[in-house]
Copies of this chain bind each other. A is one copy, B any other.
Amino acid sequence: MALFFIVLSAECEVCAGVISLDFSFEVEATDPGCGARAGRLRLPHGEVETPVFIPVGTQASVKALTGDDLCAIGAQIILSNAYHLYLRPGVEVIAQAGGLHRFMGWDRPLLTDSGGFQVFSLASLNEVTEEGVAFQSHIDGSSHFLTPEKSVDVQTAIGADIIMCFDECTTYPATHEAAAESMRRTLAWAARCKARCSEQSEESHQALFGIVQGSTYEDLRAESAAVLADIGFPGYAIGGVSVGEGKEEMLAAIEWSAPLLPEERPRYLMGVGPPEDMLEGIERGIDMFDCVMPTRNARNGCLFTSTGRLNIKNRRFCTDFGPLDPACACPVCRGTYTRAYLSHLYRAGEILALRLNTLHNLFFMLELVANARQAIVAGRFPEFKRTFLERFSA
């Protein structure tokens, strides 16, 4: 008896590689003790096992690392940013290169953020209207106008597997009135993004995710999630978190939104986070995470180990000839590098410090979600979380 698997495939219109058309998300296991779930995302450029941590490559580069480095530490998907790429090198350059996959030499899945968050956090805002956002580039002060449609067009040209709706990231703290107005604008924009994307979906095969907003208000988060679910997206993100609110408020934002999102769709908590918060998110049914913190911390000398955070700048590491984390299997800890050498590299301002630290911190995050997934499949996530946190917070 022969078994035949039929996989729909085609040539990617952007990068010209062979891609799967079979976008899907499947929940493979749910932990009996909590909301945690292990899933599998099928994307044009490959499969992604969830929960997943997505390393951030804002400007078409995960800082200090090559694609080979990222593959070696098990990165399944990386994130880049439409706002940054739109400004530099420009969409035309990326389109001419054959899309972001080819431009940066990365053939696994990619996700682009819409630029909404950056327009509101990095650029000088001129005006926000229902139509879109007028802003000035943080690089050269040049004037630009982004609309939901334009953001989709930009992201289509960039060609990531997953693209995000153009949203207004509500500032924190916000009054109920301001949060409501901002959230409803994001909803209107989400519908326009979906419409624009539908016009192009024949060619693009990209999955557009909606983004829940609503700040710290339960009714607004619930309204946002429910309306987005009505519009219907292949995946849903929870945005407007990790913007200065407390941990309680972040967890509340998840708890108010997640139950209203379709169970069979992936849920993405944007910009989170520290290992502790990621585990809280997983416990509440979040499937995807991204955060600049592990890579940014690495460049500042703050490193994760199984027994907690460590600052490599600390004087005691100058003569510590043990590995960074004896329990870690990353290329830095398994290699010839000692804490003393990493400390020297950092103190001497050597570029290699940034690279090795980044490699280690990212491995830590990727390993953490991989282990969390195993625990979910084995039905023992709460125990895994407790054990991890006991050591990590000791």
- The interface of chain A, by Cβ under 8 A from chain B, is 59-61, 63-67, 88-89, 93, 96-97, 102-105, 318-319, 321, 335-338, 340-341, 343-345, 347-348, 350-352, 354-356
Contacts and interface: CB of A to CB of B under 8 A. Distances in A.
A66 B104 CA distance: 22
B352 A96 contact: no
Given A59-B348, A348-B88, A97 B354 contact: no
Contacts of A347: 88-89
Contacts of A104: 336, 341
Contact of A341 (B105, B335, B343, B354): B105
A63 to B, nearest CB: 5
A340 B95 CA distance: 12
Contacts of A102: 336
A341 B64 contact: no
Contact of A63 (B65, B89, B321, B350): B350
Contact of A338 (B88, B97, B318, B321): B97
Nearest to A341: B103
A345 B66 CA distance: 12
B96 A319 contact: yes
Contacts of A96: 319, 321, 340
Number of copies: 2
A74 to B, nearest CB: 18
A351 B63 contact: yes
17 contacts: A60-B341, A60-B344, A60-B345, A63-B350, A63-B351, A66-B356, A88-B348, A89-B343, A89-B344, A89-B347, A93-B344, A97-B340, A97-B341, A103-B338, A103-B341, A105-B337, A105-B341
A324 to B, nearest CB: 13
Contacts of A351: 61, 63-64, 351, 354-355
A102 B64 CA distance: 24
Nearest to A104: B341
A159 to B, nearest CB: 15
Nearest to A64: B351
A350 B335 CA distance: 25
A102 B350 CA distance: 18
Nearest to A343: B89
Contacts of A348: 59-61, 88-89
Contacts of A343: 89
B88 A336 contact: no
A355 B64 contact: yes
Nearest to A106: B336
Contacts of A103: 338, 340-341, 344
7 tightest A-B CB contacts, nearest first: A105-B336, A64-B351, A89-B344, A59-B348, A61-B350, A61-B352, A63-B351
Contacts of A67: 336
Contacts of A344: 59-60, 88-89, 93, 103
Contact of A93 (B105, B319, B350): B319
A93 B318 CA distance: 8
A107 to B, nearest CB: 8
Nearest to A103: B341
Contacts of A88: 344, 347-348
A123 to B, nearest CB: 16
Contact of A97 (B64, B93, B105, B321): B321
Contacts of A337: 105
A65 B350 CA distance: 10
